[in-house]
A and B are shown apart, each in its own frame.
Chain A
Amino acid sequence: MRITCPHCGARDVQEFVVLGDAMPVRPQTPVEQPLDEATMSGWHDYVYLRENPAGAHRELWYHQAGCRQWLVVTRDVRTHEISGPIVHASAQGLSQGSSVLATLPVSPPSPLEGEEQRIELPREATP
């Protein structure tokens, strides 16, 4: 399996780390908001529930041994065939993509820089 990175070109899958489904939307819960049932339910769905389709699957891959960017890849999970454009998650401006990214350190040299990128990511919506 090879993934064509928009920055680095077609590369072996071993250069990448897969995170999984790019579609779950991170709930936008302000910190000060009390955790009522609806809020908790939203978090439960985001963290645990997956569509898990047998077909086209939009997922996040991290090009660890290349450009160190998060990619959104659409792949048919029945055949492993990749279709459609592969884009940088940050460039896509996906709420779901960037929201998943916001939970992760993006290859941070230090936790502090990771924090900064978390805030920056959604704002880098334009390619």
Chain B
Amino acid sequence: MDKIAAFIETTGGLSALLSYQRTYVPELKRDTVRYSVFSIIGQAFRGQQDWKPVWREPTPKPSYDVVIVGGGGHGLATAYYLAKNHDLTNVAVVEKSYLGSGNVGRNTTIIRSNYLLPGNTPFYEHSLKLWEGLEQDINYNAMISQRGVLNLYHSDSQRDAYARRGNAMLLNGVDADLLDRDAVRSLYPFLDFDSARFPIHGGLLQKRGGSVRHDAVAWGYARAADSRGVDLIQNCEVSGIRVVDGQAIGVETSKGFIGAKKIGLAAAGNSSRVAAMAGLKLPIESHVLQAFVSEGVKPLIPGVITFGAGHFYISQSNKGGLVFGGGLDGYNSYAQRGNLPIVEDVAEEAMALMPMVGRLRLVRSWGGVMDMSMDGSPIIDRTPIEGLYLNAGWCYGGFKATPASGWCFAHTIARDEPHALNAAFRLDRFRTGHLIDEKGAGAQPNLH
């Protein structure tokens, strides 16, 4: 016994154990009551009937310090970080449907921080770092899996562009590996390397990228925010924003008026509609993006692969289905479904990349409504209306940004000024010319 104690002392194990207790035990204690070996065994004999809801369903109070419009990933993360980082717990999240009913449950679950431009790279890297600690932070299994994201290149010029991107990432402290053809072949031998039209020359690999169980992110943030006192109000659609003398004072909802000292809009997909309630016109168009899942198969694709000659990305879910998607349908849309030409296009790209998927059956396809901004980058900023804050324009890169988006938006709301990480995501950057056009496509949202 003495030997063990001495061992712990010499290795510093005891102090580590103590600091672990200080950090995590309050959270663990709560959940031990909820989920333990005994509760699982006990429930087995009671027909699983006695599980308690993991968050409350409160009726809205007459007013809050902060009201977040939109109960998706970004809105819930914002509420969580308001409570955790800024001690603001008199907060409500209002959601027109159920929590996580929008794009947080519709994306292809990829996380990465392989961005090129200065305003973007540090922000997305911060997001990836938050992902890396998220499960411990909110004590929720979000199945974060850093299985690597590989962007393929198919020509010498594309190799140069990826080398530049990789170098920009390294300069920002992000990991990046430029792989040649043989290195890609050792990772993914099944790709069509000798395709006549788009031969694979290599790829840019970010090993720390990967995938996350997307719904669990919404649920985890929801539970963590709720346990810190945030009111999550579902089936509560905002129909108006009350502004008096240039100051936002609350929202009209299907459950009545809710007063607020500050209002944060996190309703990507519908940002233009919500902002219009306060008289704002945004540099955003709504477009539909489709995603697809195949029947489940045995482990096949260990990481995430993107096709460099088109717009196509594929990975395998933990259930075995291949999850993949392509580009936008291209026209403005608020319908959460797309049309067949993109289905055909995506299938063609899949075949060009890895012909072995040709016999797989498609199980489902669906669509989400994207806030397509005019330069392909998001907006996290104050607005010309006092007390009204905007989180919008995520195009189709919003999922990976969820933690940092909430983190920065909470900072912007609480401190009334942007954090250095989101300082470039200004609403007025289109007026001043400080665009962040990662793709260089110009003011044509459907091309970003």
**Is this pair of chains taken from one and the same complex?**
yes
**A residues lining the B interface (CB < 8 Å):** 1, 12-14, 18, 20-21, 40-41, 44-45, 47-54, 57, 59, 75, 77-80
A2 nearest CB across to chain B (Å): 10
The answer to the question of B431 belonging to the interface, with a C-beta cut-off of 8 Å to chain A, is yes
CB-based contact A77/B335 at 8 Å? yes
Contact flags B286-301 to A (C-beta < 8 A → 1, else 0): 1000000000000000
CB-based contact B285/A48 at 8 Å? no
**Count of B interface residues, CB-CB < 8 Å:** 24
Listed by A's residue number, 11 A-B pairs whose Cβ atoms lie within 8 Å are A18-B446, A20-B331, A44-B431, A48-B374, A50-B283, A52-B284, A52-B285, A52-B332, A54-B270, A59-B332, A77-B334
Main secondary structure of the interface of A (DSSP, over half): mixed
B433 nearest CB across to chain A (Å): 10
A45 nearest CB across to chain B (Å): 8
B283 surroundings in chain A (CB, below 8 A) = 48-50
CB-based contact B281/A51 at 8 Å? yes
A57 surroundings in chain B (CB, below 8 A) = 332
Contact of B339 among A1, A21, A41 (CB under 8 A): A1
B168 surroundings in chain A (CB, below 8 A) = none
A59 nearest CB across to chain B (Å): 7
Contact flags B161-199 to A (C-beta < 8 A → 1, else 0): 000000000000000000000000000000000000000
B29 nearest CB across to chain A (Å): 46
**B residues lining the A interface (CB < 8 Å):** 270, 272-273, 281-286, 330-335, 339, 341, 374, 430-431, 443-446
Contact of A78 among B282, B285, B335 (CB under 8 A): B335
CB-based contact B286/A52 at 8 Å? yes
CB-based contact B272/A80 at 8 Å? no
A14-B331 Cα distance, complex, nearest whole Å: 12
B430 surroundings in chain A (CB, below 8 A) = 44, 47-48
CB-based contact A80/B286 at 8 Å? no
CB-based contact B335/A21 at 8 Å? no
CB-based contact A80/B281 at 8 Å? no
CB-based contact A50/B282 at 8 Å? yes
B136 nearest CB across to chain A (Å): 39
Given contacts A20-B446, A44-B430, A50-B272, 10 further A-B contacts (CB under 8 A): A18-B446, A21-B285, A48-B374, A48-B430, A52-B273, A54-B273, A54-B334, A57-B332, A77-B286, A77-B331
A12 surroundings in chain B (CB, below 8 A) = 341
A80-B333 Cα distance, complex, nearest whole Å: 7
Task: Tell whether A21 pairs with B332 under 8 Å between CB atoms, given A44-B431, A52-B272, A54-B286.
Answer: yes
A79-B284 Cα distance, complex, nearest whole Å: 20
Residue of A nearest to B344 (CB): A14
A48-B332 Cα distance, complex, nearest whole Å: 15
B127 nearest CB across to chain A (Å): 26
Residue of B nearest to A49 (CB): B281
Contact of A48 among B334, B335, B443 (CB under 8 A): B443
B52 nearest CB across to chain A (Å): 38
